[in-house]
Amino acid sequence: MQRLPLANAEVDYEPAFPLGAPPDRLLERLVAELQWRRESIVLWGRRYEQPRLLAWYGDPGAAYRYSGVRHEPLAWTATLSGIRARVEHRLGLRFNGVLANYYRDHRDGMGYHSDDEPELGERPVIASVSVGEPRLFVFRSRTGPGTPAWRLRLASGSLLVMRGETQRHWRHGLPKQTRPCGPRVNLTFRRILAPAPGRGRDA
């Protein structure tokens, strides 16, 4: 895997990760099989609809709280289990949950954030698989004023892994586009270390 030159971070990228099936075929399966939902987020006291669809799948008890909402896991599908097994074999790690995001077109995106919820631990490993339309993924420093942003176009069938101090020092996001584009699904595999707390911060 290629190590990205980000200070105080461990980010590796593999543009053509072996998924066991063509990425376009996996995209079709994921769009059709997963129980997608649209949710809202509270920012500075106002509620906004998130510009994408999402779903949380995982082992029993792997509840995950983010954006002020507690998510109970749906049971793994065969497609998700197959991808998880390949990611775990590649990294030598175990994951008990996956957050799936469905970006339907150029108008969908993800705001800048860090995956630093308490139940992920202090140094979480986030393994991100992308299928579908290649999209620009951007890192912005949290701790280095004036540090240039780092941009990477995530290929269909790629694997991006963030670990170590990455979430402490960097935010990441997927900007909306001005030009029309096709759909994309992103799977971020995670390890829930403790039950999601009853209350959590909005992010």
Q: What is the pLDDT of residue 69?
A: 77
CB atoms within 10 A of CB 194: 10
Q: In the numeric block, which tokens belong to residue 38?
A: 């649209």
Between 197 and 157, the more confident residue is 157
Angular region, 78: left φ>0, alpha ψ -120 to 50, beta rest: alpha
What structural domains does the chain harbor?
A: 2-39+49-190 (2.60.120.590)
Q: Whose CA is closest to 17, among 156, 188, 137? A: 156
d(CA 162, CA 160): 7
**H-only helix segments in the chain:** 23-33, 78-91, 166-169
**Within 10 Å of residue 183's Cβ, how many Cβ atoms?**
16
- Angstrom distance (rounded) from CA 69 to CA 56: 12
Does 200 score more than 60 pLDDT? no
Give the per-residue pLDDT at 41.
67
Q: How does pLDDT run across 81-94, given as a tens digit for each residue?
A: 999 999 999 999 99
State the Cα angle at 51 between 48 and 55, rounded to 5°.
100
Q: What is the pLDDT of residues 102-153, one digit of tens each?
A: 999 999 999 999 998 889 999 999 999 999 999 999 999 998 888 899 999 9
Residue 94: what are its φ and ψ, rounded to 5°?
A: -115, 135
Q: How high is the mean pLDDT of the chain?
A: 91
- CA dihedral for 118, 120, 125, 127, sign (positive or negative): negative
